[in-house]
Structure 1
């Protein structure tokens, strides 16, 4: 029987590609996936039953192991369930054989007992029963030992798995610390690079400042030399000032210099005041010139206007004589017309009165209203020839 399972195990290793990525904890789980895998294994064992029955009926002269190998029990069969069971954990070949013995040994034993050997058929039923009980007891004892061994191995595997879990956590912690260490080192490196760049930039700036300071120092040295030469050249003036102090009311040279500066300042102020006064005079002269020019223009305009008015006056004077003669003529004509008008009015009044007397009518007509008088005379009197007026 052990040879049969070893043959099955070898065939599984030959026909199945083992996958090692499924956690070992799934071995003891009772999930639907594991139950389905066990069910598929049961189907394989039931298929073995047909092969063993064929061996019992027709090929008992052959060894069962060789018969299973010769007929390729797993050829063309779906062995994914066996592959999945093997991939549930990191298992050795003996562990897989133990699994099949524990799970399916009893069924295979019952299957083989259903087909006894030819030698056993000649024994009596009581002897066969005793032998079967003995074999069953031996098999049960062996199975218990195998279960205990398998249990110890599973405990060992669980312990190893727990140790691996602890090591994995430790490794994760170490990895996390290492990543943190790397991150800190990167940050330190970045800070160091920034600091180095800043220091290099500061160094370049200091070098530029140093070069500029050197240039300024060289310029100051040249200026010092120039001033030294100038001071040496001006030393004669110092001697002159010393002599001035000796022969004047001043006691120190700086008093002479202060007095000189005061005089220079006063001279500058006076010159500035004179310049301002001169500018004021110039501005006043300019204003006077503009004023005189404007007044000359006005005088010229007034002279032109005066000449024009004089011409108008002369023309008016010449016209006065003409208009006076005309006025005298008008007055004479007006006097004549007035006299004629008075005569006409008197004649009209006389006619009106004559007509009124002849007609014996009394008309309410004003003596000054000549027009009504003429109207009444013209409307009521006969022609001039019929009037008795000589």
Structure 2
């Protein structure tokens, strides 16, 4: 690219040349002036062409320089990327190394703790070994005793057989004791259950006897009430029978009186089937008879 300052300088140089020739050509003919003007224009054009070539050359140089700078910039960026990767890898390696160191220190602490624990366990095992050794020494007399028993007993040939027989008898004894204990517990449970059952049944029997007593009292009361009701019923039936008998006698007497009244009357009367009608008829007949007798007595006086 052409610099703006170079272009301005080129224009100022051309103007100076034109100004100098203008001062010289003031006293010449117009044709000469025209030719001079054309020559000046060619000179300016040639100068401009030369400057343009120079500017193009400079521009090519600038472009090459720019390309070189871009290339160097890319190389610098690549170098920076590589350096950044190198730094990242270095940081990662350092972090891994730090982590490994921390893990190794932690593992060392664990191992040191394990060493302390194992030393304590070793001390315990040594103490247990000493105690076991003393127990073994004490139990050697039992070993000798078992050997003497084998010399006497013909059915056992090895100490292991004797110990196995003892273990069998001990297990059998334990089973029998456990069975006896279970049987005793079962008996106790059965006895307690029997006592509970007996008490429950006794209470139920007492409750049932009380209920029977109450039911007997209720039955006696009901029988007394029934007897009283039967007596009332018999009395009521007798009274009803007496009333019916009296009613029948009254009806028969009423019917007989009604018939006698009809026989004594010379008038024809309708039939009366109901006792009340018959009584009304008898009453009317008696009233009529009393009136007739009264009139008869009055006429005889």
In the alignment, is residue 288 of structure 1 matched against residue 194 of structure 2? yes
Instruction: Quote the residue 1:247 is aligned against.
Output: 152
* 1:377 aligned residue (257, 279, 287): 279
Instruction: Quote the residue 1:386 is aligned against.
Output: 289
Instruction: Quote the residue 2:298 is aligned against.
Output: none
Q: Distance in 1 between matches of 2:47 and 2:148?
A: 143
Shift of 1:160: 4.1
Secondary structure of the corresponding residue to residue 266 of structure 1: helix
Tell me, yes or no, if the aligned pair for 2:254 and 2:278 is still in contact at 8 Å: no
Shift of 1:226: 2.5
Question: 1:338 and 1:151, CA in 2 relative to 1: closer, same or farther beyond 3 A?
Answer: closer
Question: 1:227 and 1:114, CA in 2 relative to 1: closer, same or farther beyond 3 A?
Answer: same
* 1:257 aligned residue (163, 173, 176): 163
Question: 1:114 and 1:383, CA in 2 relative to 1: closer, same or farther beyond 3 A?
Answer: same
Q: Distance in 1 between matches of 2:20 and 2:188?
A: 150
Secondary structure of the corresponding residue to residue 251 of structure 1: coil
Q: Distance in 1 between matches of 2:136 and 2:287?
A: 145
**1:44-66 Cα shifts (integer Å, max 9, x gaps):** xxxxxxxxxxxxxxxxxxxxxxx
Q: Distance in 2 between matches of 1:111 and 1:383?
A: 197
Tell me, yes or no, if the aligned pair for 2:147 and 2:159 is still in contact at 8 Å: yes
Question: 1:201 and 1:379, CA in 2 relative to 1: closer, same or farther beyond 3 A?
Answer: farther
Shift of 1:364: 7.4
* 2:74 aligned residue (149, 169, 180): 169
Question: 1:209 and 1:377, CA in 2 relative to 1: closer, same or farther beyond 3 A?
Answer: same
**1:294-351 Cα shifts (integer Å, max 9, x gaps):** 2222332344345445666777899999899988877876776565455334323322
Structure 2: state its 5+ residue gaps: 293-301
Instruction: Quote the residue 2:16 is aligned against.
Output: 108
Q: Which has the higher contact order (CA 8 A, sep 6+)?
A: 1
Secondary structure of the corresponding residue to residue 234 of structure 1: helix
Number of matched pairs: 281
Question: 1:218 and 1:351, CA in 2 relative to 1: closer, same or farther beyond 3 A?
Answer: farther
Give 1:1-390 correspondences, 5 Å limit: 26-27=1-2, 85=4, 102-115=10-23, 158-248=63-153, 249-308=155-214, 340-358=246-264, 363=271, 365=273, 372-379=274-281, 381-383=284-286, 386=289
* More displaced 10-residue stretch of structure 1: 151-160 or 372-381: 151-160
Question: 1:268 and 1:364, CA in 2 relative to 1: closer, same or farther beyond 3 A?
Answer: farther
Tell me, yes or no, if the aligned pair for 1:102 and 1:147 is still in contact at 8 Å: no
Which structure dedicates a bigger proportion of its chain to helix?
Answer: 2
Q: Distance in 2 between matches of 1:331 and 1:161?
A: 153
**1:269-297 Cα shifts (integer Å, max 9, x gaps):** 22222222222211111111112212222
Structure 1: state its 5+ residue gaps: 1-25, 29-84, 87-95, 366-371
Question: 1:107 and 1:250, CA in 2 relative to 1: closer, same or farther beyond 3 A?
Answer: same
Instruction: Quote the residue 1:6 is aligned against.
Output: none
Question: 1:102 and 1:329, CA in 2 relative to 1: closer, same or farther beyond 3 A?
Answer: closer
Secondary structure of the corresponding residue to residue 78 of structure 2: helix
Q: Distance in 2 between matches of 1:323 and 1:102?
A: 162
Instruction: Quote the residue 1:17 is aligned against.
Output: none
**1:81-124 Cα shifts (integer Å, max 9, x gaps):** xxxx46xxxxxxxxx6xx665443121121233345xxx99x99
